[in-house]
Amino acid sequence: MEQLKAYLKDSSRLAGHIPGEKDWEIILPKLVRQEIPKKHILSKAGQTENYLNFIESGVARFYIPKEENDVTFNIVFDTGFLSAYDSFLTQTPSTYNIETLTDTVLWRMTYSDLQTIYKETELGNIIGRQAGEELFLKKQKRELSLLNLTAEQRYLNLFNEQPELLQKVPLKYIASYIGVTPQALSRIRRRIY
């Protein structure tokens, strides 16, 4: 909880708002801490996302289930928002799965609780905006890397930004995430090391 509170305080301070006791009295009871085991499906294609999650610790991947090979299109780490956000916002079924890759600790808030917080606190609006901005920026960065960088550059960037990645995420998911086959990733790694 302290990580989340610190994150929200920093975010709100940047927006010129210092959270008061009233903010916390409304928000904190709506947050539920959950410990999720490794390889658990948090959000399933065809189901509507009802939670906005904040990762206290752990790693999760977003993927499109395919018959032959799943397509991993996002990997999320500690201290970030995690949600099938398009489904959460529109309250329509998701088209992809979210799976934990490690034991994960989440702070969860339901869609209806977030709507209440939006109405009752300024901090709630900052949380919503911060989550939306963070998810948008990550998505844009990913799209630009796929369009502008080689697979080797994408791998090196990912490794430089998240060095613990190789210990926590199977290489087949990293390969899918950077847009190559596991065999191509092996060749890239041989060239680098």
Q: In the chain, which residue ranges form alpha helices assigned H by DSSP?
A: 2-14, 21-27, 85-90, 111-120, 122-148, 151-161, 165-168, 171-178, 182-192
The pLDDT value given to residue 10: 66
The pLDDT value given to residue 18: 67
The pLDDT value given to residue 40: 98
Q: Let me know whether 89 and 157 are in one domain.
A: no
Which range marks the domain in which residue 42 is found? 2-147
Counting as low any pLDDT under 50, the low residues of the chain are: none
Q: 136: domain CATH number? A: 2.60.120.10
The pLDDT value given to residue 45: 97
Q: Let me know whether 34 and 116 are in one domain.
A: yes
80-100 residue pLDDT tens: 888 999 999 999 999 999 999
Model pTM above 0.75: yes
Q: Let me know whether 90 and 170 are in one domain.
A: no
Task: Give every CB contact of residue 140 below 8 A, 6+ residues apart in sequence.
Answer: none
Q: Let me know whether 110 and 187 are in one domain.
A: no
Q: Let me know whether 30 and 122 are in one domain.
A: yes
How many domains does the chain fold into?
Answer: 2
